[in-house]
Chain A
Amino acid sequence: MSDMMKVSSNPHVRSSVTTSNIMMWVVIALLPAAGFGIYNFGIDALIILVLSVLSTVLTEFCYEKILNKKITVTDFSAVVTGLLLGMNLPCTAPWWLPIIGGIFAILVVKMLFGGLGQNFMNPALGARCFLLISFPALMTNFTTDTYTSATPLAALKAGEDVKVIDMIIGNIPGTIGETSMIAIVVGACILIMLGIIDLKIPGSYIISFVLFIILFGGHGLNGAYISAQLAGGGLMLGAFFMATDYVTCPITTKGKYIYGVFLGVLTGIFRVFGVSAEGVSYAIIIGNLIVPLIEKYTIPRAFGIRPVEKKEEKRA
C-alpha cells in the first residue's frame, strides 16, 4: 500500500496563472504611470507612493497577525491597492495622508468585509473618496513648484483652454499617477496582451463617456474638448485599472458592458453637471454598488438553452 498514488478529481493539470502573479503583473503595468508621476513631480511623489504601499501591506499583515488569520500579503493585492491609492493622491499631500488612506482602504473597505475577494468596492477608491471628503483642501492642492495653474479639467470647466498634447504626455498638474495618458495606456496594453484585462469594461466606459460628452457637454464635436476630457482627471487610470478591478466588477460578459456604460454615463453626469470637475472615483464607487444587481440580471443562458423553448412552453 506504500506505493499508493494521490487521487483527486479531474482536471489533473492547472494553468500557471495564479492570483499572485496576476497581481504582480498589475503592479508592473502600473509602474510606467507611477514612474512618470515620480519624473513629473519629483521625490515627493516617490515618498507618497512608498508610504501608501507600506501602509496597505502592513495594515493587512498586522490585521491578519492580530486576528491569527492566514497571512495573505504575498498575493500582492495589498501592493496593488497601495500603489493605486498613492497614484490617486496629489504630490503635495502631507506624509500622513497616504498612511491614513492605506489603513482605511485595507482595514475598512477590504478586511472588515472579509478580505480579498469580499470587498464590495475598490479599496483604493474607497479610501480616496474618504480622503476627498475628509481633507478636501489637501486632496485637491495641485500647486507645486512646477505647476501653479489649476488642473486641466478645472480649467476646462472654468471655460479656459488647455493644451491637449501636454495632457496626453502628462506634463500637467494632477494626482501622481493620473496625468500621463500615454503611460497608463502602455500599462494597460501589457495587461490586455497578457489577457489579465480585456476591453469590455474600459471600451464601453470610454465610448459611452465620449458619447455623453458629445451630446450633453455643450461643446458638440469639438475635438480638443473631447480629447481633454478623455486625457484628464484620471479617466484612463480609472477605466483601465480601477473599473476593471476583478473583485468589484461584474462577472458576466453582458454585465461588463452594462457596467462600463453605466460608469461612462455617470462620469459624464458628474463632470458636466457636478460641482467638481472630476467624477471618475465617484462613478466607479457607485458602479461597484450596483454590481450585484447587474450580475443578478445578466446570468447568461447556458449553451443549448434556447429562449424559444420558453415560448413553446407558454404556447403549450
Chain B
Amino acid sequence: MAKLTFVGGVHPYEGKELSKDKPIKEILPKGDLVYPISQHIGAPAKPIVEKGDHVLVGQKIAEAAGFVSAPIYASVSGTVKGIEKRRLATGGMCDSIIIENDGLYEEGEMLPTKPLEELTTKEKIDLIREAGVVGMGGAGFPTAVKLSPKEPEKIEYVIANCSECEPYLTSDYRRMIEDPELLLSGLRIAVSLFPNARGILAIEDNKPDCIAKFRELTKDDDKIMVKALQTKYPEGAERMLIYACTKREINSSMLPADAGCIVDNVDTLCAISRAVMEGRPLMERIVTITGDAVTDPRNYKVRIGTNYRELLDDAGGFVKAPAKIISGGPMMGFALFDLDVPTTKTASALTCLTEDAVSAMEPSACINCAKCVDVCPERLIPKNLADDVENGQEEKFLAEYGMECCECGCCSYICPARRQLTQLIKGMRKIQLGKRKK
C-alpha cells in the first residue's frame, strides 16, 4: 500500500537520533519564572495578580480576555515580583508576569472536575478552556475554540498529529513512547465531544515502534485508527496532515472543521486529558534540547515559564560554540539572539546548531530550476511570488495565491540559488494580513 502523504515537501537531515533515546527528564526551575501574557493566538490574557502576591502551583495568574484567548497558571509556588516587558522567543517584547520561585512547589486547588462519565460535552470543553489549553505544536490556537465548531455532528475525524516532521524534535516521540495512555485518553476525550467522530493517530513511519505500540493499544477500539504516514517535512502541517489522512483539501481561509476534521498535537491532547480527568491546568510541557552544539541533547518535562538557559545548563551547556540557537526546529523555529527567554506553552524545542550557513549565505540569480515548485506543499510557484515581492507587485502576488503559503520553508530549503524565498513571501503575507485587519 502506498504510504499516506501529500504532494511536495522535502526531507532534510533528521537529527532525531541525538535525543530520540533519552527519556524525558523532569526539571525543576531554580530562577525566576516568566509568564508572557500572550502565549496563544488571540487576545492576550489579563493578569489577575499583583506584585507581592503569593501564588501556589495551579493558581490562575492571568485570565482569558475574550473567546479566543486562554488563561495562564502559575507552575511554581512563590511571590509575584512584578509585571514587566520581557523578550519572547519570537523576538518581540511582551508583558510578562514574573514569579520568584520559593522552591516548595506547594499545590493550590485544581479545577473542579467529576468522573468522566458524568461530564457533559459542554463541561468537558469548559474544563479545557479553563485549563488554558492551547495548540502546543507552535500555533497556540486556544483548543476549546477549536473543539467547539459550529456543527459538531459534521466532525468525522479527530486527528492526533503525531507526525513530528520537524527535524531534531523528539518531544512528541518520547511522550508517545513513555506515556501512550495519556495521549490516548486525551484523544478519546476529544473524540467523545463529537457524536460522529473517530480518532486517527497520524504517525510518520520513522517511528515504527510508536506505530506498533499504538496499533497494539487500540486494536479493540474501533473508534481509534492508527495511520502510518510517509516521513517527510511538512507532514505535520495541519492542511497537509488532513490531506494525507483523508484526501480532503482545505485552503488557508478554511478551518479543518470544514473538512470534517479536528487536528490536535500530541502534547495538546495530553493537556486535554489532564485538564478533564484531573482538573490540572496547563502548566508543563515536553521540550527537546538538541543540536550538535549541545553537550547532552535530551528531552525535558518543563514547567512553563522556565528560562531556556536553565534547560541548556542542565543539558551540559555547549560542547561547541553554537552559530545559531533556534526556539523550535530548524525548519520553522525562531532564531534567538539571546538565551534568556522563557519556555511558553508553544515552545517545543531549543535547537542549537554549530553551523549557520543561512545568515551568511549570499543568494545568487534564480535559474528557474522549478525545484521550489516541486517541493511546495501548497502547490504555489514560490519563485514567482518572491519575484512579485521584490518587484512590489502586490496584486500579482495575491492573484498567484501568495496568501496560501504556509511558510513551511521548503522552497528556501531546496533553492540551489539560495534565494530567501520563504522569507520574502512571509514578509509580504505579514503586510497583507495587517491590511486585512484594518
Contact = CB atoms under 8 A, between A and B. Distances in A.
Interface of A: 4-15, 17-19, 21-22, 72, 75, 77, 115-118, 246-249, 251-253, 256, 299-306
Contacts of A249: 368
Given A12-B353, A13-B12, A7 B418 contact: no
Contacts of B79: none
B417 interface: yes
Nearest to A306: B249
Given A12-B353, A302-B380, A251 B331 contact: no
Ranked nearest first, the 10 interchain pairs of A and B with the lowest CB-CB distance are A304-B251, A11-B409, A302-B401, A117-B365, A302-B404, A304-B249, A7-B335, A12-B330, A6-B359, A246-B369
15 contacts: A5-B322, A5-B337, A9-B423, A12-B356, A13-B330, A18-B418, A19-B364, A72-B364, A117-B365, A246-B370, A247-B367, A251-B384, A304-B251, A304-B378, A304-B404
Main secondary structure of the interface of A (DSSP, over half): loop
B231 interface: no
Contacts of B361: 14
B356 A6 contact: yes
A251 B358 contact: no
Contacts of B367: 19, 22, 77, 116-117, 246-247
Nearest to B10: A15
Interface in B362-381: 364-371, 373-374, 377-381
B438 to A, nearest CB: 24
Contact of B323 (A6, A14, A19): A6
B364 A75 contact: yes
A256 B369 CA distance: 12
Contacts of B377: 303
Nearest to A18: B416
B249 A11 contact: no
B340 to A, nearest CB: 11
A52 B254 CA distance: 56
B251 A10 contact: no
Interface residues of B, number: 68
Nearest to B377: A303
B40 interface: no
B413 A22 contact: no
A305 B416 contact: no
Given A72-B364, A302-B404, A8 B249 contact: no
B369 A252 contact: no
Contacts of B249: 303-304, 306
A305 B330 contact: no
Given A10-B331, A251-B368, 11 more contacts: A8-B359, A9-B335, A11-B331, A11-B358, A13-B358, A117-B366, A117-B367, A246-B368, A256-B370, A303-B6, A303-B377
A13 B331 contact: yes
Nearest to B353: A12
Contacts of B384: 251, 299
Interface in B296-335: 322-326, 330-335
Contacts of A247: 367-368
B2 interface: no
Given A13-B413, A304-B249, A6 B368 contact: no
B407 interface: yes
A167 to B, nearest CB: 32
Contacts of A256: 370
Nearest to B380: A302
B76 interface: no
Contacts of B357: 13-14
A242 to B, nearest CB: 14
Main secondary structure of the interface of B (DSSP, over half): loop
A290 to B, nearest CB: 15
A6 B324 contact: yes
B142 interface: no
Nearest to A9: B423
A302 B382 CA distance: 11
A222 to B, nearest CB: 37
B129 interface: no
Given A19-B417, A304-B252, A12 B373 contact: no
A8 B429 CA distance: 17
B379 A7 contact: no
B179 interface: no
A223 B285 CA distance: 69
Contacts of A300: 379-381
Interface string B161-176: 0000001000000000
A301 B370 CA distance: 16
Nearest to A118: B365
B412 interface: yes
A12 B326 contact: yes
B239 interface: yes
A13 B359 contact: no
B387 to A, nearest CB: 11
Contacts of B415: 14
A12 B358 contact: yes
A21 B369 CA distance: 13
A77 B359 CA distance: 25
Contacts of B359: 6-8
B388 to A, nearest CB: 12
A287 to B, nearest CB: 14
B156 interface: no
Contacts of B381: 251-252, 299-300
Nearest to B402: A302
Contacts of A17: 371, 414, 416
Contacts of B243: 303
A11 B324 contact: no
Contacts of B13: 13
Nearest to A17: B416
Contacts of A5: 322-325, 335-338
A303 B379 contact: yes
B60 interface: no
B383 interface: yes
Contacts of B378: 302-304
> Which of B167, B251, B325 lies at the interface centre, i.e. has the most chain A CB atoms within 10 A of its CB?
B251
Interface string B238-275: 01000100000111101000000000000000000000
Contacts of A22: 367, 369, 416
Contacts of A8: 324, 335, 358-359, 423
Interface string B331-361: 1111111100000000000010100111101
> Which of A6, A7, A10, A17 lies at the interface centre, i.e. has the most chain B CB atoms within 10 A of its CB?
A10
Nearest to A298: B381
Contacts of A19: 364-365, 367, 416-417
B338 A10 contact: no
A246 B333 CA distance: 31
B426 interface: yes
